[in-house]
Chains A and B, each alone.
Chain A
Amino acid sequence: MTADDRDAFAAAYVLGLLDPRDMQEAERLLAEDPAYAAHVADWRERLSELDRTAPSLPLPQGLWTRIEAGLDAPATAQPAAGIRTETVRAEAAWPERKAQPEPALSRLWRSLGFWRGIGLAASAAAVLLSVALSVAAVQLGRKPAMIAVLLTDSREPAAVVHTFRDGRAELVPLAPIDVPAGRALEIWTLWDRARGPVSIGLIDEARTVRLNLDELPRTDEGQLFEITLEPSTGSPTGRPTGPILMKGTASAPL
C-alpha cells in the first residue's frame, strides 16, 4: 500500500465505507500500525465536526439505569465487547456449509413451471440497470465475467449478481426487501442440477455483499441465482426451504 492508499483506506474506514472484510483489515492495521492509526485519528478529527450537527435528543427514561446495570456484568457477557473484536460478528453471516445428506428437493425448487418464466426476457429496466452497474464495475477496473439480474415474481429487477474472473462475486440489491422478524435472505446458485442448489450467502436485509463461490467452478452462462427467505441462521436443511423472492440467470456482458 502506498502512503496515499493507506490514507484513503483510513478515510474510508472513518467514513464507514469499508465492507466487512476490509473493515477487519482496517482494524488489524489500526492495532498494529501506528502510521495508519495516525491517519485514522486525523480523519476522525477532520470529520468530527459533522457529529456536532446531529440534534441532541432527549434521553429515554431508564437508559442510564440499563447502562448502570450493565457495568457490573463481566465483559464476556456483553456480546462482542471490544471495539476491535466486533467485526468477528460480521463473519457469522457467512456460516460454513457442511455437506448435507441429500434431502427431498424442496417443492419450489422442483416446480419446473416456477423456473420456466425466467429466460432471457428481462424487462428493459433490468437491462438498463445491469448495463449501468457493469459500467460501474468496469470503471473500477473489474469487469464482471458474468452478470445475473434477479427478478421478482412480478418481473421487477430486484438485485444483480456480478461474478469476476478472479473468483470473487457480489450481490448488489436494487430494491429494499421486507425481511420478517427471525428470518434472513439466503442466496443460492444452481451450478449443477445433480448437486442441487448451493448456499453462497446469508444476509439480514437487502445490502451489497460478497458472495462465497469458492467451492464452485467458474460461473457458467445460464447459471441460476436466487434468493429465498429462510430462518435467520440459514436454511436448516442446506437447501432452499422458504419462498423464492427473486431469481435470474447469468449472462456474459459484451
Chain B
Amino acid sequence: MTVSSEDSALDEDELGRALQRCAGGDRAALRKIYEGEAGRMLGVAQRMLRRPALAEEAVHDTFLQVWRHAASFDPARGSARGWLFAILRHRALNILRGEVRTDLVDDFEPMGLLSEEDKPDAMIMRLSENGRLRRCLEKLDPARRDAIVLAYGNGLSHGELAGRIGVPLGTVKSWIRRSLSVLKECMG
C-alpha cells in the first residue's frame, strides 16, 4: 500500500502541465497526477459514497476519463484541480444517484451514519481559517451551513437533507437557495 501524503500533492501549474502531457499521450504524467491527487480523490469519493469499493470505482473511472478527455481541459475556463475534481464528483454522484447498483446489500450502511470526521462541523473546522469560504459559511445560520456542507461534501439529496436536519423538503430547498446567494454575495 502506498500512502499519498500531503507533500506529494501537485500545485496548480504542475497539475495543468501534467494534464497537457496526458493529452499528448504521456502515461507518466497520468501516473504523476495519480500519485499526487488520488489519495485526496479517494477521500472525497468515500465521503460521498461511504463504501470503499465504490469510492475506488469512482477514482478508477475518473482517471480513465481524465486520460481520454485531458485535451478538453481549458485553463481559461477554470483551474486544473477544479476540472479534475469536477469529473470525480460527477462520477461519484452518478454512482450515488443515477445508477442501478447490484451490490448494495452486503455491507450497505444506512444513510444515517456518518463518521465523526465527515460531520459538517468537522469539515468546516478543516477549512483554512482565513479562507473566504469558511468566513462566508460562518455567516450562515448553523443548520443552513450544515445543509450546504452535507450536500456538497456527503452528496446528500434535498430529501436526505430534509430527513437529516429534520425540516420539510421545501424549507431545505429555500434554505439552500438563499444560503447560496449569501455565499455568492460574500465570496464574490
State which residues 32-80 of A face B: CB under 8 Å: 37-38, 41, 44-61, 63-64, 66-68, 70-71, 75, 78, 80
Q: What is the distance, in angstroms, from B68's C-beta to the closest C-beta of chain A?
A: 6
- Chain A residues with CB under 8 Å of B77's CB are 37-38, 41
Asked if A67 contacts B64 (CB within 8 A), the reply is: yes
Q: What is the distance, in angstroms, from B62's C-beta to the closest C-beta of chain A?
A: 9
State which residues 6-51 of A face B: CB under 8 Å: 7-8, 11-12, 14-17, 20, 23, 37-38, 41, 44-51
- Chain B residues with CB under 8 Å of A204's CB are 99-101, 104
- CA of A51 to CA of B102, assembled, Å: 28
Asked if A208 contacts B158 (CB within 8 A), the reply is: yes
With A204-B104, A207-B157: A48-B170 Cβ-Cβ less than 8 Å:
no
- CA of A70 to CA of B123, assembled, Å: 33
Decide if A179 is an interface residue (CB 8 Å cutoff).
yes
State which residues 193-232 of A face B: CB under 8 Å: 204-205, 207-208, 232
State which residues 32-51 of B face A: CB under 8 Å: 34, 38-40, 42-44, 46-47
- CA of A63 to CA of B23, assembled, Å: 21
Asked if B101 contacts A68 (CB within 8 A), the reply is: no
Decide if B54 is an interface residue (CB 8 Å cutoff).
no
State which residues 134-151 of A face B: CB under 8 Å: 135-140
- Cβ-neighbour of B169 out of A38, A63, A70, A172 (below 8 A): A172
Asked if A59 contacts B127 (CB within 8 A), the reply is: no
Asked if A55 contacts B117 (CB within 8 A), the reply is: yes
With A8-B177, A44-B78: A58-B90 Cβ-Cβ less than 8 Å:
no
- CA of A137 to CA of B123, assembled, Å: 31
Asked if A50 contacts B127 (CB within 8 A), the reply is: yes
Decide if A153 is an interface residue (CB 8 Å cutoff).
no
Most B CB within 10 A of own CB, among A16, A20, A89: A16
Total interface residues in chain B, CB < 8 Å = 91
- Cβ-neighbour of A57 out of B42, B102, B131, B176 (below 8 A): B42
Decide if A182 is an interface residue (CB 8 Å cutoff).
yes
Decide if A108 is an interface residue (CB 8 Å cutoff).
no
Asked if A90 contacts B168 (CB within 8 A), the reply is: no
With A48-B82, A49-B133, A83-B69: A58-B1 Cβ-Cβ less than 8 Å:
yes
Decide if B10 is an interface residue (CB 8 Å cutoff).
no
Q: What is the distance, in angstroms, from A132's C-beta to the closest C-beta of chain B?
A: 5
- Chain A residues with CB under 8 Å of B168's CB are 132-133, 135-136, 139
- CA of A89 to CA of B3, assembled, Å: 34
Decide if A169 is an interface residue (CB 8 Å cutoff).
no
- CA of A8 to CA of B89, assembled, Å: 19
Decide if B18 is an interface residue (CB 8 Å cutoff).
no
Asked if A57 contacts B79 (CB within 8 A), the reply is: no
Q: List 6 A-B contacts (CB under 8 A).
A: A15-B152, A49-B134, A57-B43, A60-B42, A60-B56, A90-B94
Partner-B contacts on A (CB < 8 A): 4, 7-8, 11-12, 14-17, 20, 23, 37-38, 41, 44-61, 63-64, 66-68, 70-71, 75, 78, 80-83, 86-87, 89-90, 92-93, 132-133, 135-140, 172-174, 176, 178-182, 184, 204-205, 207-208, 232
Partner-A contacts on B (CB < 8 A): 1-6, 9, 27, 30-31, 34, 38-40, 42-44, 46-47, 52, 55-56, 59-61, 63-65, 67-69, 77-79, 81-82, 85-87, 89-91, 93-94, 96-106, 108, 110-111, 117, 123-124, 126-128, 131, 133-134, 148-149, 151-153, 155, 157-159, 162-163, 168-171, 173-174, 176-177, 180-181, 183-184, 187
